[in-house]
């Protein structure tokens, strides 16, 4: 689940409602307000059956590595 950030408790109430699931109810919990990671996790699960999704995830991960490497090079040159 993706805990929704609320005004009163900043999403902690949502987080607790997810992590307190009883035994036998499998749940994956993401960071508060982090739906992007939930989408990536869903894609990873689907990628087990669908190689095309898995390949796209690998390409996405590689692009993130390249982006971080480029940022590091910029910092080193500054």
Q: Residues 13-60: pLDDT tens digits?
A: 999 999 898 999 999 989 898 999 999 999 999 999 999 999 999 999
CATH of the domain at 41: 3.40.50.1970
Task: Quickly count: other Cβ atoms within 10 Å of residue 15's Cβ.
Answer: 20
Whether 1 has a pLDDT exceeding 90, the answer reads no
Angle at 51 between CA 46 and CA 52, to 5 degrees: 95
Structural domain range at position 34: 12-77
pLDDT exceeds cutoff 90 at 7: no
Whether residue 2 lies inside any domain: the answer is no
Domain count, the chain: 1
pLDDT exceeds cutoff 90 at 78? no
For the entire predicted model, the pTM comes to 0.74
Is 43 inside a domain boundary? Answer: yes
3 lies in a domain?
no
78 vs 61, more confident: 61
Q: Does 59 fall in a domain?
A: yes
- The alpha carbon torsion through 4, 6, 9, 12 (nearest 10 deg) reads 0
Residue 7 belongs to a domain: no
Decide if 6 is inside a domain. Answer: no
Residue 24 confidence (pLDDT): 93
């Amino acid at each position: 689940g993706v805990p929704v950030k609320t005004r009163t408790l900043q999403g902690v109430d949502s987080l607790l409602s997810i992590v307190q699931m009883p035994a036998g109810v499998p749940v994956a919990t993401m960071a508060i307000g982090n739906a992007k990671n939930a989408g990536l996790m869903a894609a990873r699960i689907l990628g087990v059956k669908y190689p095309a999704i898995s390949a796209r995830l690998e390409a996405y991960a590689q692009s993130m590595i390249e982006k971080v490497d480029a940022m590091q090079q910029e910092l080193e040159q500054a």
